[in-house]
Amino acid sequence: MSENTITFEIDGVEVQGTAGQTIMQAADVAGIYIPRLCAFDGLEPFGSCRVCTVKVNGRFQSACTQPIAEGIIVENDSEELLELRRNLVDMLFVEGNHFCMFCEKSGNCELQALAYRLGIAAPKYPYMFPADRNVDATHKDVFIDHNRCILCARCVRASRDLDGKNVFQFVGRGPQKRIAVNSRARLVDTDLNVTDKAVEVCPVGAILTKHVGYSIPVGKRKYDHTPIGADIEANKK
């Protein structure tokens, strides 16, 4: 065993990781799925969605940002945490305009798949139906539907850190916070390319590629037969 090996527990299961790993990273290697929306492999941890909230020695922490430490006790699959995650996902649905039945991302949407995994058939909170969410379809290959954005910052981090472009950024604060582009107003005026990682990483139907909508038939979409997180759990040790 390496001197950099760290041993701790997740739901009573002994897990080993290496110094510098987060709880989520070590859990993924061990085949233990921790729900997430803002976290994405290769992107700097952001901790905005809080869907990955776990308890570490009795205290709430975000698994995507919290480093592992020797001997810590992590709770991930308790009813308390599942209810917290259900509430968070519920709120993400009602704060935007998510209509899964005709969204191009349906069946491949991480928010939708997570709701199913958590047993959510319909949100319990009243819908807000915000009316000031526009759609920018000016780009020839990509469009942005602000109705579905959950402010996860994946596109911001991917454009900055992986594409080296800084196409997307947050503007506003509180309820007025939204994603904007680095031009006067339109996506077409940016240097975004359809092959950019920022286009790929959106977990919902907010940033979508044109000309390919509904190309994957029902029954062959990513989450039609296996729940979100199944790929991680398949590696369980």
The full set of domain ranges for the chain reads 5-77, 85-209
In contact, 146 and 206? CB cutoff 8 Å? yes
CA-based end-to-end distance of the chain: 17
Q: Which CATH number fits domain 85-209: 1.10.1660.10, 3.40.50.300, 3.30.70.20, 3.30.70.2190?
A: 3.30.70.20
CATH of 5-77, one of 3.40.50.720, 3.30.310.50, 3.10.20.740, 3.40.50.300: 3.10.20.740
Is the pTM here over 0.85, yes or no?
yes
**What pLDDT is stored for residue 236 in this prediction?**
84
Residue 175 is predicted with a pLDDT of 85
Residue 43 corresponds to which tokens in the numbers above? 């992107």
Q: Which two tokens stand for residue 154?
A: 């994946």
Question: How do beta strands 5-10 and 73-75 pair?
Answer: parallel
Tens digit of each residue's pLDDT, the chain (237 residues): 566 899 999 999 999 999 999 999 999 999 999 999 999 999 999 999 999 999 999 999 999 999 999 999 999 999 999 999 999 999 999 999 999 999 999 999 999 999 999 999 999 999 999 998 999 999 999 999 999 999 999 999 999 999 999 999 999 998 889 999 987 779 999 999 999 999 999 999 999 999 999 999 999 999 999 999 999 999 886
